[in-house]
């Protein structure tokens, strides 16, 4: 993880400009009491009226100069905070994109959204407005104390004691608030997750009439979030009055003690006026200290949350000098592959080989390991035993991007972006696929059948996750996306389940015409795999049967039973063109 200090150091020149402007603005501001002292001692008491115009001009110049340097300071700090937050959000997003699939398997989307948006925003606030005020408090207080000690040492002891007292209260607050903010950040992530899941799955919620249950679940988290924020407020309210009391008493004590010193003749009236003004000037840093501690604690807690994500490392790693093939032809080899998760065996001793241009069909009951084969092939996970080769090269030795860019996938869970149909099809190679290629892919995937009837045709914007389209239409767009990529390997993971028989047959015909493309088809329908060069049947993570369509029918095993359930009890025969 790039430390906060690295972001600050990168922008050190602008920080120097901002802090320099702050010092000048504060210094000018604290020159006013000195002018007040001269007005009282020299003009009012001493009768030197001629000095008044110069002293008034000095007050005007201080006001103008302070305004200019304050503007430079605040503008620079705002720009710095925005730039650093933007860089942090970019770096965090890039880091999460590099993490392996297993991280996303165990991490909620809502939590990641909370980290990338809310927590970075709190750090942004901490590095801009809050840090600016903290630095200003330190500089302002230091200059005020210097001016007070050079005016009267004994009288300066009063604000010094007050500052030490307020500093101790601030430290106690920071420790108590730090623990609360950890809980608030966690609960915020939970709340985001619940909201994201319900908004994304609102149709399912309504279909099962779960509105009341989901509302109660949301309210439980919302109430917890409310309670934690109230806990934070109680800590703040408990300690903040101490700051208020000190800031109200300090000028009064300065005036009383200073008045006695003036009466004793050890300090002029003008010096007393300056000291009272300085004591008023030191009041606002004390008042801000409690609020700044509150905000700074929040930023520190958010930074700890980001560190947890940065501590995550990809489990799928590329070799230092990976093999890069000149051309991927599409030969796939599984050599005694085994894979398990959380102590459970998913695949055991799976071996097969698919030559370039051939088709492999994979069938099996739910949970038999079909999709796991695809995930291993794309190297979302690494096999526990055995090896997986692409063109006779172990994919663990290859460049990861080449492995994945060689494969066009039509996933079981279709995901479409809130964009046009054309842009969703171009997704794989957005900058390289022409409009003509989009139309060809659409024709092969039967997308043109419904897209051309829409008002804006391929430029029709579809809703989030394909809202407004049927399941079959979404599947066809997903298939068209894979066709358009023209990669040497095409994987279809139960991708025609929502299609009618006629549309499926048309797509199967288009698949057969794809020359030189290795195809892996996972399906529950016999019709999707019957023309494959080899069909494997998985059961409990092992290959229970393998062969061509007719060979498997003649075995009267699992494949035959599936055939019977789908097409009737016909002994080894052909039904409906099968």
Distance CA 213, CA 332 (A): 47
Task: Mark 477-490 as b/e (b = at least 16 C-beta within 10 Å).
Answer: bbbbbbbbbbbbbb
**Residue 408: partners with Cβ closer than 8 Å, 6 or more residues away:** 428, 481, 482, 483, 485, 486, 487, 489, 490, 491
What's the gap between Cα 460 and its chain centre?
Answer: 29
Q: How big is the chain, counted in residues? A: 578
What global pTM score does this model have? 0.66
Q: Which superfamily, per CATH, for 326-406+522-570? A: P-loop containing nucleotide triphosphate hydrolases (3.40.50.300)
Q: What is the dihedral of CA 443, 446, 449, 455, to 10 degrees?
A: -80
End-to-end CA distance of the chain: 58
Helix (H) or strand (E) holding 387: strand 385-390
Reference 268, options 532, 13, 39, 76; nearest CA is 39
| Domain ranges within the chain, ordered by starting residue | 4-181+239-310, 326-406+522-570
Reference 187, options 242, 238, 149, 226; nearest CA is 226
Contact assessment for residue 307 and residue 92, using Cβ atoms and an 8 Å cutoff: no
Contact assessment for residue 446 and residue 500, using Cβ atoms and an 8 Å cutoff: no
Integer CA distances (angstroms), 341 to 314, 317, 383, 522, in order = 17, 18, 10, 21
Reference 127, options 263, 273, 40, 3; nearest CA is 3
* pLDDT at residue 388 in the model: 92
What's the gap between Cα 125 and its chain centre?
Answer: 17
Distance CA 411, CA 374 (A): 10
* pLDDT at residue 577 in the model: 43
DSSP state of 323: B
Give the three-state DSSP class for 252: helix
Cβ-based burial of 397 (10 A; exposed 0-12, middle 13-18, buried ≥19) = middle
Per-residue pLDDT of the chain (578 residues; tens, 9 = 90+): 567 777 878 888 888 898 888 888 888 877 887 788 888 878 787 778 888 888 888 888 888 988 898 899 888 888 888 888 888 888 888 888 888 888 877 777 777 777 887 788 888 877 777 778 888 888 888 888 888 888 888 888 888 888 788 778 877 777 777 677 777 877 877 787 777 777 666 666 666 677 787 788 888 888 888 888 888 888 878 877 887 788 778 888 888 888 888 888 888 888 888 888 888 777 677 667 666 776 777 788 788 888 888 888 888 888 888 899 888 898 999 999 999 887 788 898 899 999 998 889 998 888 788 888 888 988 888 888 999 999 999 999 999 888 888 888 887 777 777 778 888 888 756 667 778 888 888 888 788 878 888 777 878 877 655 566 777 778 788 888 888 878 889 888 877 665 667 777 777 777 777 778 898 988 888 888 888 889 999 988 899 989 999 988 888 888 888 888 877 755 444 444 44
**Residue 141: partners with Cβ closer than 8 Å, 6 or more residues away:** 163, 282, 285
Distance CA 357, CA 363 (A): 20
Question: In the numeric block, which tokens belong to residue 117?
Answer: 């948006």
Contact assessment for residue 334 and residue 388, using Cβ atoms and an 8 Å cutoff: yes
Residue with tokens 């990861």: 400
Reference 86, options 57, 109, 116; nearest CA is 116
* pLDDT at residue 500 in the model: 66
* pLDDT at residue 449 in the model: 78
* pLDDT at residue 290 in the model: 62
Q: Which superfamily, per CATH, for 4-181+239-310? A: ABC transporter type 1, transmembrane domain (1.20.1560.10)
Reference 566, options 363, 361, 359, 358; nearest CA is 363
Contact assessment for residue 11 and residue 80, using Cβ atoms and an 8 Å cutoff: yes
Contact assessment for residue 132 and residue 266, using Cβ atoms and an 8 Å cutoff: no
What is the 3 state secondary structure string of 27-84?
Answer: HHHCCHHHHHHHHHHHHHHCCCHHHHHHHHHHHHHHHHHHHHHHHHHHHHHHHHHHHH
Contact assessment for residue 522 and residue 494, using Cβ atoms and an 8 Å cutoff: yes
What is the 3 state secondary structure string of 400-441?
Answer: HHHHHHCEEEECCCCCCCCCEHHHHHHHHHCCCCCHHHHHHH
DSSP state of 530: T
- Sign (positive/negative) of CA torsion 557, 559, 560, 565? positive
């Amino acid at each position: 993880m790039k430390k906060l200090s690295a972001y600050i150091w990168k922008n050190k020149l602008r920080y120097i400009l901002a802090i320099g402007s702050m010092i000048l603005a504060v210094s000018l501001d604290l020159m006013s009491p000195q002018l007040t002292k001269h007005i009282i001692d020299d003009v009012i008491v001493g009768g030197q009226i001629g000095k008044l115009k110069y002293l008034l001009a000095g007050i005007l110049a201080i006001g103008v100069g302070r305004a200019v340097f304050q503007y430079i300071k605040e503008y620079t700090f705002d720009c710095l905070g925005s730039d650093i937050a933007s860089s942090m959000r970019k770096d965090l997003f890039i880091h999460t994109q590099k993490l392996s699939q297993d991280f996303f398997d165990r991490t909620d989307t809502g939590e990641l959204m909370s980290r990338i948006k809310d927590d970075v925003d709190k750090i942004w606030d901490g590095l801009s407005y809050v840090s600016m005020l903290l630095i200003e408090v330190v500089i302002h207080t230091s200059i005020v104390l210097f001016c007070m000690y050079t005016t009267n040492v004994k009288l300066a002891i009063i604000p010094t004691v007050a500052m030490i007292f307020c500093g101790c209260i601030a430290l106690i607050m920071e420790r108590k608030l730090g623990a609360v903010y950890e809980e608030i950040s966690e609960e915020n992530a939970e709340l985001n997750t619940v909201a994201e899941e319900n908004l994304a799955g609102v149709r399912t919620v309504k279909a099962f009439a779960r509105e009341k249950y989901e509302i109660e679940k949301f309210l439980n988290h919302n109430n917890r979030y409310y309670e934690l924020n109230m806990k934070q407020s109680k800590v703040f309210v408990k300690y903040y009055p101490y700051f208020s009391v000190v800031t109200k008493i300090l000028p009064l004590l300065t005036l009383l003690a200073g008045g006695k010193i003036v009466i004793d003749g050890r300090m002029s009236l003008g010096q007393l006026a300056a000291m009272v003004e300085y004591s008023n000037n030191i009041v606002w840093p004390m008042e801000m200290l409690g609020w700044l501690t509150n905000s700074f604690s929040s930023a520190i807690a958010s930074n700890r949350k980001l560190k947890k994500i940065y501590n995550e490392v990809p489990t799928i790693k590329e070799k230092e000098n990976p093999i890069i093939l000149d051309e991927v032809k599409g030969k796939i080899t599984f050599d005694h592959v085994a894979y398990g998760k959380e102590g459970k065996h998913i695949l055991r001793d799976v071996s097969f080989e698919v030559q370039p241009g051939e088709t492999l069909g994979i069938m099996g009951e739910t949970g038999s390991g079909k999709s796991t084969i695809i995930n291993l092939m794309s190297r979302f996970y690494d096999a526990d035993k055995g090896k997986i080769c692409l063109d006779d090269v172990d994919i663990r030795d290859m460049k990861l991007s080449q492995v994945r860019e060689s494969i066009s996938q039509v996933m079981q869970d279709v995901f479409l972006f809130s964009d046009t149909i054309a842009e969703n099809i171009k997704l794989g190679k957005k900058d390289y696929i022409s409009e003509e290629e989009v139309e060809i892919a659409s024709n092969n995937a039967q997308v043109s059948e419904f897209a051309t009837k829409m008002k804006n045709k391929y430029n029709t914007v579809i809703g989030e996750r394909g809202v407004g389209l049927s399941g079959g239409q979404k599947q066809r767009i997903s298939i068209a996306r894979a066709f358009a990529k023209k990669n040497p390997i095409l994987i279809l993971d139960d991708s025609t389940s929502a299609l009618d028989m006629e549309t499926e047959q048309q797509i199967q015909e288009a698949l057969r015409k794809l020359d030189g493309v290795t195809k892996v088809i996972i399906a529950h329908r016999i019709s999707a795999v019957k023309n494959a060069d080899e069909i494997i049947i998985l059961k409990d993570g092992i290959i229970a049967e393998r062969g061509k369509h007719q060979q498997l029918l003649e075995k009267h095993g699992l494949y035959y039973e599936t055939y019977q359930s789908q097409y009737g009890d016909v002994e080894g025969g052909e039904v409906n063109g099968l």
